[in-house]
Amino acid sequence: MAIISELLFSIITLVALFLFSKQLLKIKRNIAIGKNVDLSDQPARRWKNVLLLALGQKKMFRNPLVAILHIIVYVGFIIINIELLEIIVDGITGNHRLFSHYLGSFYAFLINSFEVLAALVLIACIVFFSRRNIIRLKRFISKDLNGWPRSDANYILIAEIVLMSLFLVMNAADTKSSFIISSHIQPLLKGFSESQLSIIENAAWWLHILGIYAFMNYLPYSKHLHIILAFPNAYYATLIPKGQMHNMESIQNEVLYAMQPELTPANAAAPEKFGAKDVMDLSWKNLMDAYSCTECGRCSTACPANSTGKLLSPRKIMMSTRDRLEEVGKNIDKNKSFVEDGKSLLHDFISVEELRACTTCNACVEECPVSISPLDIIIELRRSLIMEESNAPQEWNGVFGNIENNFAPWKFSPDDRDGWTVS
């Protein structure tokens, strides 16, 4: 019977790891659909971002209480799962708390530390669940979270509560051990016999490890993929000053060649397209941003357009980009390469009204705790709208015409631009 249990556990472990790796490779493939961009400069500053933003969660500390709770959940859950190593070894070899034989008194210290963290994670998750479903903070009840996104957040919190509870019950049912938190649960189990306690411990053990594997394989389909992607996303975050936009070299050259035709290369070719209409026109960093989005809504709360009732929600921009990218990925899975489906990110997933509402103030970029830039995507889509489709409000067209003819947004002759100084 023991051999069957060990074999079954080994098979389940291999299947879980295989499925998880397979989905991560698909996500990596989807991100690689984007245009290449070199973000390998200044490695020292990039590692500093990883330490401060991803690991230290610097931006979260604008609200210290929430930041501390989030760090408890994040760090606590990761550290507690170090015990997974022992569970996996025990499951494969058929042992019970194998590491306790080698670590001595330090083993009890480790498990006690894990239990304290588990209790703190439980409390933090209950608080976060209450903020979403009882207090109902405005950014958590926004219409762009209707449906699956709102359920997704609750599923994760419930899963973490269940997993931490199973960990404590498993330890409490172990009559040969007494740990700092689970020892307070043991009196509730006094009515059970030794054999019944053994069944409870084994059941909690199996449910805990199966829950971890299920959680692991759920991550790639969830907004909580940021648990993994927050680190590379922080490393590859743009280092240019906020507010400085990337000029299109092809446009600059078009203007230069128009003014100085002699500089035009003999083999100069017109750009294939301007801006981005679909996800494959964006950079791979834009696509990584979409997968890294936590859907926390801090960007939308800070957005002045969103605050005044306009349709724009930076969070929704990221969610729509991810939805379209997932759709493109499924298209590739089905057809081996992308087959035109008559859809695009622009118009089908993100509307013109949303894009025009953006003031390019960078508030969304400043607020994002994992270094995401919805603004980059908005700018690229607007470039496509204006330069590919000539789709701009009449007021904008007037400004464009004035800049082209008068070198200023106003309808004054260049010679008269300083007229306002004359009293």
Residue 189 lies in a domain: yes
Q: Does the residue 397 lie in any domain?
A: no
pLDDT confidence bin for 129, thresholds 50/70/90? very high
Q: Does residue 320 sit within a domain?
A: no
Whether 30 contacts 326, CB under 8 Å? yes
- Highest mean pLDDT (candidates 113-122, 190-199, 313-322): 313-322
Average pLDDT of the segment spanning 419-423: 64
- Whether residue 262 is predicted with pLDDT greater than 80 in this model: the reply is no
Residue 161 covered by a domain: yes
Q: Is 217 domain-assigned?
A: yes
Q: Rounded CA gap, 181 and 186, in Å?
A: 9
188 belongs to a structural domain: yes
Domain count, the chain: 1
* Phi, psi for residue 295 in degrees, rounded to 5: 60, 30
Q: What pLDDT score was predicted for residue 377?
A: 97
Compute the distance between CA of residue 36 and CA of residue 228 in angstroms, rounded to an integer.
22
Residue 263 falls inside a structural domain: no
On whether residue 389 sits in a domain, the answer given is: no
pLDDT of 423 > 60? The answer is no
Listed range (2-6, 181-185, 345-349) with the worst mean pLDDT:
2-6
Handedness of CA 364, 370, 374, 380 (dihedral sign): positive
Q: Tell me: pLDDT of 169 over 90.
A: yes
* pLDDT digits 0-9 by tens, 28-87: 999 999 999 999 999 999 999 999 988 888 888 888 888 888 888 888 777 877 788 888
Q: Which domain holds residue 117?
A: 2-226
The values of phi and psi at residue 383, to 5°, are -60, -40
The amino acid that residue 203 corresponds to is A
Cα-trace Rg, the chain: 27
Mean pLDDT for the chain? 89
- Provide the whole-model pTM: 0.87
Helix/strand/coil for 296? coil
> pLDDT class for 346, splitting at 50, 70, 90?
very high
* Res 422: pLDDT: 64
Kindly report, residue by residue over 139-152, the tens digit of the pLDDT: 888 888 888 888 99
User: What is the per-residue pLDDT for 44?
Assistant: 95
What pLDDT, on a 0 to 100 scale, did the predictor assign at position 1? 59
In the chain the first and final C-alpha atoms are separated, in Å, by 99
Specify whether the CB–CB gap between 384 and 276 falls below 8 A. yes
The pLDDT of residue 274:
86
With CA atoms as reference, report the closest residue to 312 among 382, 248, 243, 372: 382
Token pair 């953006």 is at which residue? 358
Average pLDDT, stretch 386-398?
Answer: 89
